[in-house]
Amino acid sequence: MKASELRTKTIEELRQQEMDLRKELFNLNFQKVTGEIENPMRIRHVRKDIARVLTVINEKVKGASKN
């Protein structure tokens, strides 16, 4: 997922996407512990996607407060 794609979404959509990614991360970590994970690198990608979403949310909040 690209940050430019995220910037077109509203803050509510971004917060929902963050929650979905956090659920996916929880499930991936659970699979890792139980030894069932197929692609361990997916954990890294999901964590970075969460960081991207949070960054865009912060940009939008700070941009809205300036106006």
User: Residue 48's domain is classified under what CATH number?
Assistant: 1.10.287.310
* Angle formed at CA 29 by CA 21 and CA 24, multiple of 5 degrees: 20
The structure's pTM equals: 0.90
User: Number of structural domains, the chain?
Assistant: 1
| Residue 50, domain extent | 3-66
Percent of the chain with pLDDT over 90: 85
Report, in angstroms and rounded to the nearest whole number, the Rg of the chain calculated over CA atoms: 14
What's the mean per-residue pLDDT of the chain? 94
**Predicted confidence (pLDDT) per residue in 15-43, tens digit:** 999 999 999 999 999 999 999 999 999 99
- pLDDT classification of 2: cutoffs 50, 70, 90: confident
pLDDT at 67: 65
What angle separates helix 41-66 from helix 11-34, to the nearest 10 degrees? 160
